């Protein structure tokens, strides 16, 4: 059973702070890793994808992957109230085209 685990939160940070979101996965065959943002009642919106160990930066977002530890994280710098949402970690396994999602971490950014 492929599992993706996330702390459900909520993670509360003040505006301007760095938010750190974490995710672990069980399947060592996992190849592709994604972070989606989901506002309440809305669809998942892609933020970042990462495939190789290390860091990948895109604007205020940095994804970090450590395959040996089966760990992927998302850092959000200069957090804004509009970043308040649930962040979904999703993993795609080798040999499959589908995503396995975690339950998501709710992020609350207070002004």
Partner 1 sequence: EPEVTQTPSHQVTQMGQEVILRCVPISNHLYFYWYRQILGQKVEFLVSFYNNEISEKSEIFDDQFSVERPDGSNFTLKIRSTKLEDSAMYFCASSLAPRGPSGNTIYFGEGSWLTVV
Residues that bind partner 1 (CB under 8 A): 31-32, 34, 36, 41-46, 49, 51, 88, 90, 92, 94-104
Cis (ω within 30 of 0) for the bond into 10?
yes
Among the listed residues 37, 39, 13, 43, the one whose alpha carbon sits nearest the alpha carbon of residue 87: 37
- Cβ 82 to partner 1 shortest distance, Å: 19
- Cβ 13 to partner 1 shortest distance, Å: 23
> Which CB atom, from 35 or from 79, has the smaller least distance to partner 1?
35
Contact present, 28 and 20 (Cβ < 8 Å) = no
- Cβ 44 to partner 1 shortest distance, Å: 5
- Cβ 18 to partner 1 shortest distance, Å: 25
Which residues in 1-111 belong to E strands, given as ranges?
Answer: 4-5, 11-14, 19-25, 30-38, 45-50, 54-58, 61-66, 71-76, 85-93, 99-101, 105-110
> Which CB atom, from 43 or from 82, has the smaller least distance to partner 1?
43
> Which CB atom, from 79 or from 90, has the smaller least distance to partner 1?
90
């Amino acid at each position: 059973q492929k599992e993706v685990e996330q702390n459900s939160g909520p993670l509360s940070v003040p505006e301007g702070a760095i938010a750190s979101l974490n995710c672990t996965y069980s399947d060592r065959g996992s190849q592709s890793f994604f972070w989606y943002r989901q506002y309440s009642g809305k669809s998942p919106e892609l933020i970042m994808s990462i495939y190789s160990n290390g860091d990948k930066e895109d604007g205020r977002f940095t994804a970090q992957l450590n395959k040996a530890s089966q760990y992927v994280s998302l850092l959000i710098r200069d957090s804004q109230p509009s970043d308040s949402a649930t962040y979904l970690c999703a993993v795609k396994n080798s040999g499959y085209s589908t995503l396995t999602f975690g339950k998501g971490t709710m992020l609350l950014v207070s002004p």
